[in-house]
Amino acid sequence: MAAPTVTARVKPSGFKLPDGYRSTWAFALKPAIQLWEKTVKPPGVDGGAAIDQTTMHNDAWRTVAPRSLKTLTESSFKFAYDPDAYPDIIAMVNIQQSITCHEPDGSAIAIYGFLQKVEFDPLEEGKQPEGTATVTPTNYDPVNNIEAGPLFVPAAGT
């Protein structure tokens, strides 16, 4: 029986983000929407649950295999807002478009997706009104009718 090989960790090169400031979202349908990002959660990647490969011929271990397809995970952001943005929010919910997450180093992740929901926090004295928006990736180009994963644009000089 073959054993897995041990791989040494190599010191990474490159640039690690020192701070989460300034991260923003841009919606193709309304790039100047009156929302001011306070926290930003970029999209992640999920490989899905493992596929069970166990049979009656296994001796000591259950075996699994990875799936073939990946899912771009939901993203969200917390924001301050102008109440005048409400009609724009209503107009954009469930409308597929290009949406860009801008990272602090100047890099960007553009996805096809839609604004799934917007929830507002309770209004209270002494606290800035805030809300939370959820962005759902579709990985589908609605203009060309094809599968389209995220586009990563690195920051200049990286």
User: What kind and span of H or E run contains 51?
Assistant: strand 51-52
- The pTM (predicted TM-score) of the whole model is 0.90
Question: Across all residues in the chain, what is the average pLDDT?
Answer: 96
Which of the four pLDDT bands, split at 50, 70 and 90, describes residue 158?
Answer: low
In a domain, 8, yes or no: no
In a domain, 134, yes or no: yes
130-137 vs 108-120, strand pairing mode = antiparallel
Q: Could you read off the pLDDT of 63-113 as tens digits, one per residue?
A: 999 999 999 999 999 999 999 999 999 999 999 999 999 999 999 999 999
- List of residues 6+ apart from 43 with CB closer than 8 A: 72, 73, 74, 75, 101, 109, 111, 135, 137, 150
In a domain, 101, yes or no: yes
Q: Could you read off the pLDDT of 38-60 as tens digits, one per residue?
A: 999 999 999 999 999 999 999 99
Strand partners, 39: 78
**Token reading at 50:** 């493992």
In a domain, 13, yes or no: no
Are the CB atoms for 114 and 97 separated by under 8 Å?
yes
pLDDT at position 76, please? Answer: 98
CA 42, CA 113: separation in Å to the nearest integer? 13
In a domain, 107, yes or no: yes
In a domain, 53, yes or no: no
Q: Is the pLDDT of residue 142 over 90?
A: yes
Report CA-CA distances (Å) from 26 to 32, 39, 124: 8, 14, 28
Domain limits for position 93: 24-47+62-153
CA 111, CA 151: separation in Å to the nearest integer? 6
